[in-house]
Structure 1
Amino acid sequence: MEPLLKVSSLHVRYGAVQAVRGVDFEIREGEIVAFLGANGAGKSSTLNAIAGLVEAHAGTIEFAGRDITDLAPETLTPLGLALSPEGRRVFPALSVAENLLMGAYSVKDKTKVKDAWERVYSLFPILHDRKDQLAGTLSGGQQQMLAVGRALMSGPRLLLLDEPSLGLAPLIVEQVFELITILRDQKVTIALVEQNVAKSLEIADRGYILSGGQVVGAGAASDLMSEGGLEDTFLGA
């Protein structure tokens, strides 16, 4: 069975700085795959390259059997790929409902948009309660829910989650990780970049460990959790 996402020899540069150095990995349909590593390891740059937000200097990115390496971000959403970015990046001057609608810009069928709204509101009842409230007035946890909900509005086959628990209170962090497992049950494949290593490996099927822009470890989440040496990776050793 072909992987849903296949990344081969990916390189990403920001000027003279090489953030990602020849990364290879695959994600199969229905999996949660965690990308782990210290700050600056290349995790977010990898996700942003998949989403078309940064240019792949070299290598290939294949999604559902199609080469998407050089495609613009707005062309990827209709193909079934969506990103919930680090830092939430909601539109503060728009209402909750308007933010969600922005995530469905590629969906032309009004019935599908209505169904997507209902799905998101069932996952996040607080968003329904505050659908007319300006997004900029929401709490950090509510904004994170909105960012994930917005990404779900297009009905993605693959959801890229970049640091979904960053800066959130412990109770909200638990809710975020519970949501991720619910999404897998709903047949959403998930690529997860997350600083909370323990929680990530609890819910993930597999993981890749990045350091210095390279994959330095990979395996089943249960194996990675039991392996020694993870501390060295996160301390930059």
Structure 2
Amino acid sequence: MAPLLSVQSLQVRYGPIEAVLGIDFEIKEGEIVAFLGANGAGKSSTLNALVGLVPVASGTVTFNGSDITDWPPETLAPAGMTLSPEGRHVFGTLSVSENLLMGAYSIKDKDAVNDAWERVYTLFPILHERRDQFAGTLSGGQQQMLAVGRALMSNPRLLLLDEPSLGLAPKIVGQIFDLISLLREQGVTLALVEQNVSMALNIADRGYVLSSGKIVAAGSASELSQSDALQSAYLGGE
């Protein structure tokens, strides 16, 4: 069975700076795959390239059997892949429900939008309670829930999560990781960039360790948890 996502020789550059140096990886349907490494290792650049937020300098991205390497960002959510970005990037002067509606921009069927709202509000009851509140007045944890909920509104097959626990209290971090496991049970495939290594490996099936734009280790979560390459990727920084 072909992987849901297959990436070959992916390169990402910012002007003269090479952020990702020709990496290969794949994600199978139903998996949680973690991308680990120190700050600046190329993890977020990889996710952003997958959804077209930064251009792919070279390489091929294949999703659900289609070459999506050069697809515009707005075409990827309808195709089944969405990103919950680092830093949340909620629209502070819009209400919670209006923020969620932004995630359903590609859905024309009102009943389908209502179903998506119901799903998100079931996952995040606090968002239902605060649905008319400005997103900018939510706590950090609630804004993270809103960012994930917005990404879920298009009913993605593959959800990319960039640093979902960043800056959150430990109790909220636990809730976010419980949610990630629940989403997988509901049939969502997930890719996760996360600084909290122990939490990430606790829920992931497999992982890739990046250092200076290259994949330096790959394997099951249990293999990576004992990997010298993982420790050196963090202790050695870049």
Q: Provide the TM-score with structure 1 as the length reference.
A: 0.99
1:189 has 2:176 as partner:
no
1:205 aligns with 2:213: no
Q: Residues 152-231 of structure 1 correspond to what in structure 2 (within 5 A)? A: 152-231=152-231
Query: What is the correspondence of 1:12-161 to structure 2 with a 5 Å cutoff?
Result: 12-161=12-161
Q: Secondary structure at the match of 2:168?
A: coil
Q: Give the % identical residues.
A: 71
Q: How far does the alpha carbon of each residue in 1:58-99 deviate from its partner, in whole angstroms, 9 at most, with x for none? A: 000000010000011001110001000000000000000000
What is the letter of the counterpart of residue 125 of structure 2?
A: P
How far 1:231 moved relative to its partner? 1.7
* 1:14-47 deviation digits (Å, cap 9, x = unpaired): 0010000011000000000000000000000000
**Structure 2 unpaired stretches of 5+:** none
Count of residue pairs brought into register by the alignment: 237
Partners in 1 of 2:236 and 2:116 — Cα distance? 42
* Deviations 1:170-198 (CA, angstroms, capped at 9, x unpaired): 00000000000000000000000000000
SS of the residue corresponding to residue 192 of structure 1 reads strand
- Supply the distance in 1 between the matched residues of 2:51 and 2:221 (Cα, whole angstroms): 24
What secondary structure does 1:168 align onto?
coil
Matches of 1:77 and 1:211, distance apart in 2 = 29
C-alpha contact 2:96 2:133 (8 A) present in aligned 1: yes
Amino acid at match of 1:163: E
**Cα RMSD for the two superposed structures:** 0.7
Q: In the aligned structure 2, how far is the partner of 1:65 from the partner of 1:88?
A: 29
Deviation at 1:141, TM superposition (A): 0.3
